[in-house]
Structures are given as structure tokens and as C-alpha cells.
């Protein structure tokens, strides 16, 4: 297991058909992202007064946090309960978790009407709001 912890150069090909598909999806996403930033949420979503949150917020939060959950449990297994033989698993799990939370923050930011104010919960606190707790937890 020890050899898995040492940094080694990647010998596999990077551009594979799978990666190509993902690149096409990502470019597609960036186009919509640009439209959203230029013309507002109404231009790319079907949200209205009765449906202020859509599938977007569900997927970006649920998927991102779900990705991060693996990091928590694996870290608990290895570092808290000290099953040291899982050490090799912890690193990729923590990387995925970190990426997961980054995606949550980024996805939520794009969904915010005033995305440039995403840091506001740091200075304007409302302890009564369940969303405040979620926001602070994601930031940390």
C-alpha cells in the first residue's frame, strides 16, 4: 500500500473519449453561464415568483455535498477511528470532498441573483435563518 502514497507522474493519456464528452458538456455549460451573467437568471431559467428555486439548486447543492460526504466518512474511518490501512483511500476521498464543496459554492454563487455579494453572510448575520447555517458551513 505504501507505494500508493508516493507521488508518481501520470502515464495515462489525458484526452480520452470520456474526457471529450465532458469537455463538450462543459463548453455548453460555460455558454449558458455567460448568458446568465450577461442577461440575468430569467434568460436561462424558467424560474418565477411561485418557483424561486429550481432543479439547479437541488442538483448543485445535493451533488456537491454528496461528493463531500465520502470525504467526511473516509476521514473519520482513517483519522478518527485510526484504521490506518485506509490511508491510501483518504487522500482521493478528501480531494473529491474538497472539489465537491468548491462546486457547491460555485454553483450556488451562480444561482444567487447578486452573486458578487456571496460574502455578505460573513458580515450580515441572521441566526434565525436555516440558510445562514448552511451558508456558513459551506464557507468553512
Are the C-beta atoms of 56 and 41 separated by less than 8 Å? Answer: no
Are the C-beta atoms of 118 and 112 separated by less than 8 Å? Answer: yes
15, three cell numbers = 484526452
Residue 95: CB minimum distance to other proteins, A: 21
Contacts of 90 (CB under 8 A, 6+ apart): 74, 75, 77, 78, 79
Q: Which stretch binds other proteins (CB under 8 A): 10-18, 31-39, 61-69, 93-101?
A: 31-39
8 is a site residue for other proteins (CB under 8 A): no
Sign of CA dihedral 7, 12, 14, 19: negative
Residue 98: CB minimum distance to other proteins, A: 19
Task: Round to whole Å and give the CA distance between 72 and 137.
Answer: 14
Q: Of 25 and 72, which CB lies nearer to other proteins in the complex structure?
A: 72
Interface characters, 71-100, with other proteins (x: CB under 8 A):
-----x--xxxx-x----------------
The 8-class DSSP code of residue 112 comes to: S
Residue 2: CB minimum distance to other proteins, A: 17
Interface characters, 35-64, with other proteins (x: CB under 8 A):
-xxxxxxxx-x-xxxxxxx-----------
121 is a site residue for other proteins (CB under 8 A): yes
Question: Residues interacting with other proteins, by CB under 8 A?
Answer: 36-43, 45, 47-53, 76, 79-82, 84, 111-115, 117-118, 120-121, 124-133, 135
Amino acid at each position: 500500500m505504501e507505494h500508493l502514497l508516493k507521488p508518481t507522474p501520470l502515464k495515462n493519456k489525458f484526452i480520452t473519449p470520456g474526457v471529450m464528452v465532458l469537455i463538450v458538456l462543459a463548453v455548453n455549460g460555460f455558454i449558458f453561464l455567460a448568458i446568465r451573467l450577461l442577461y440575468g437568471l430569467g434568460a436561462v431559467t424558467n424560474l418565477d415568483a411561485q418557483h424561486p428555486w429550481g432543479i439547479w439548486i437541488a442538483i448543485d447543492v445535493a451533488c456537491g455535498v454528496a461528493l463531500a460526504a465520502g470525504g467526511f466518512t473516509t476521514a473519520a474511518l482513517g483519522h478518527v477511528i485510526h484504521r490506518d490501512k485506509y490511508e491510501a483511500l483518504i487522500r482521493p476521498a478528501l480531494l473529491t470532498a474538497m472539489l465537491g464543496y468548491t462546486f457547491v459554492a460555485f454553483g450556488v454563487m451562480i444561482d444567487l441573483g447578486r452573486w458578487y455579494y456571496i460574502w455578505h453572510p460573513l458580515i450580515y448575520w441572521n441566526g434565525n435563518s436555516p440558510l445562514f447555517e448552511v451558508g456558513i458551513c459551506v464557507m468553512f
